[in-house]
Amino acid sequence: MVEKRLARVERLNPDLMGMAFLDGVEVEVPFTAPGDVVEIMRWRRRKGRRVATEYTVVERSSIRVTPGCPHFGGCGGCRAQHLPYEEQIRVKEEGLSEVLGADVRVKPSPRVYGYRNRIDLVLSTSGIGFRRFGTWWDVVDVEECKLFGPSSRRAIRSVRDLIESSGAPKEEMLYDIRRGTGFLRYMVLREGKFTGELMVTLVTSEGEFPEDPSSYFEYADSVYWSVNRTKSDVSYGEVRRFWGGRFIEERIGGVTYGIHPNSFFQTNSYQLVNLLGTVSAMVDGERVLDMYSGIGTFGVFLAKRGFRVVGVDVNPHSIEMARMNARRNGVEATFITSSDRDEVEVRGFDTVIVDPPRPGLHPKFRRRLIKEGPGTVVYVSCNPKTLRRDLEELGSRYRVEEIQGLDMFPHTPHVEVVVKLVRLTN
Ligand SMILES: C[S@@+](CC[C@H](N)C(=O)[O-])C[C@H]1O[C@@H](n2cnc3c(N)ncnc32)[C@H](O)[C@@H]1O
């Protein structure tokens, strides 16, 4: 729709988008703040909402702050650097309280820049960086990611050098997202914030590097080459080779974790310290099932504090890492590969910790908890909507004792929630 109209941004929605009224209908205006006056030239319907796609800010709100990143406003990596951090926290608290029907407080992240220990940079013919906000094909060229920190600048410069000195045409060396052709697809950076160790993973299509790529990243502790032969736009693949260490290490709350390119690790190391503290304070008794354990983030931390832990995850690679992490930290804990669809034993524990992926608990596992779950369940969630559904279902046998939000993702709309559930006695 093309038309020029002035509107004032009245509020922020839970996606941290400015909301303005045009003739009584609400339009989402990205990268704006309450109090901004915007001229909207064009908007589109997206998933039942109206989103401004062409607009200018004609009057800037007094609450705005200066974004820390020069790419902010086009780059789709984050969307709220222009908002005071307290305002971001307020919106997350309001959103969570509404979804969960309770007054939820969100613990702010100790750092709001340089907090990410992982970024996935797109290497493509349209740029090296992150997807442009609202597109899947266009990429904003970046020199650095401020959410990751200065070592991203160095690595981005190195990958540009590698591409340039190959002498190959851009269309051959870099992936064309629309056509599905080209060699280099992603560069994933992972950094131990408390160890300073850096891992660089280059994800490519099938093919060969013209020369040893690791020579461009001599300062990195580990360099991986992974191959994704599929058309799927994912930033992982089969490991072809690595140089330097097989893992890098991160140290959180006295625990050393090994990080591998193909395993999940919580992305905000500074706030992970608080997440671990929150979870362990909610655990009752000494026998703990760490369901969806990943590499043993909670399980190894708790085992180090004397709890008897069994961890379960569907990913055999993560379980191998969890066992290694237990050994590395000199603790006894059992880690088992299994799915939440299988018969995972929940009896015999005092507490079950669940930290499922975004779709939440599998109905089979949820039913098992309802039928024979222990006195305490600690639910860690990154998706308030599926958390609400699961809490409603579990509500037949459990009551919510405590809810704590934690901001693991400043400048983005995402938020983590930890809920302590206690089994009803009758
Ligand atoms: C949000 S991550 C949490 C990992 C870990 N608790 C941590 O903090 O690092 C979710 C985990 O669930 C695992 N997962 C996904 N689907 C699963 C399933 N069907 N059964 C068991 N685990 C599953 C994934 O492999 C992943 O490690």
Q: Domain ranges for the chain, please list them.
A: 1-64, 106-111+251-423, 118-246
Find out whether 130 and 122 touch, Cβ atoms under 8 Å. Answer: yes
Q: For the structural domain made of 118-246, what CATH number should be given?
A: 2.40.50.1070
Residue to substitute in 117, 264, 288 for testing ligand 1 pocket (most ligand atoms within 8 angstroms of CB): 264
Q: What is the pLDDT of residues 235-290, one digit of tens each?
A: 999 999 999 999 999 999 899 999 999 888 999 999 999 999 999 999 999 999 99
Active site residue 416: yes
- pTM for the full predicted model: 0.93
Set 26, 39, 382, 393: catalytic member: 382
Measure 183 CA to ligand 1 centroid, in angstroms: 31
Residue nearest to atom 4 of ligand 1 (CA): 294
Q: What is the pLDDT of residues 391-424, one digit of tens each?
A: 999 999 999 999 999 999 999 999 999 999 999 9
Burial-class residue 332 by CB neighbours within 10 Å (0-12, 13-18, 19+): exposed
Question: Is the CB of 298 within 6 Å of ligand 1?
Answer: yes
The minimum-distance atom of ligand 1 relative to the CA of 313 is 22
Q: Give the DSSP per-residue string, 90-124.
A: HHHHHHHHHHHTS---EEPPS-SSS-BSEEEEEEE
Q: Averaged over 375-384, what is the pLDDT?
A: 97
Q: What is the pLDDT of residues 189-217, one digit of tens each?
A: 999 999 999 999 999 999 999 999 999 99
H helix or E strand, kind and range, residue 281: helix 269-282
Within this chain, domains 1-64 and 106-111+251-423 share the same CATH topology:
no
Residue nearest to atom 1 of ligand 1 (CA): 357
Measure 292 CA to ligand 1 centroid, in angstroms: 4
The minimum-distance atom of ligand 1 relative to the CA of 341 is 19
Question: Is the CB of 264 within 6 Å of ligand 1?
Answer: yes
Residue among 188, 220, 223 at smallest CA distance from 203: 188
Q: Averaged over 305-331, what is the pLDDT?
A: 96
Between CA 285 and CA 292, with CA 290 as vertex, the angle to 5 degrees is 160
Assign domain 1-64 to a CATH class: mainly beta
The percent of residues in the chain predicted with pLDDT above 90, rounded, is 91
Assign domain 106-111+251-423 to a CATH class: alpha beta
Q: What is the pLDDT of residues 329-341, one digit of tens each?
A: 999 999 999 999 9
Q: What is the pLDDT of residues 141-170, one digit of tens each?
A: 999 999 999 999 999 999 999 999 998 998
Interhelix angle 297-304/316-328, nearest 10 degrees? 20
Instruction: Quote the mean pLDDT of the chain.
Output: 95
Question: Is the CB of 294 within 6 Å of ligand 1?
Answer: yes
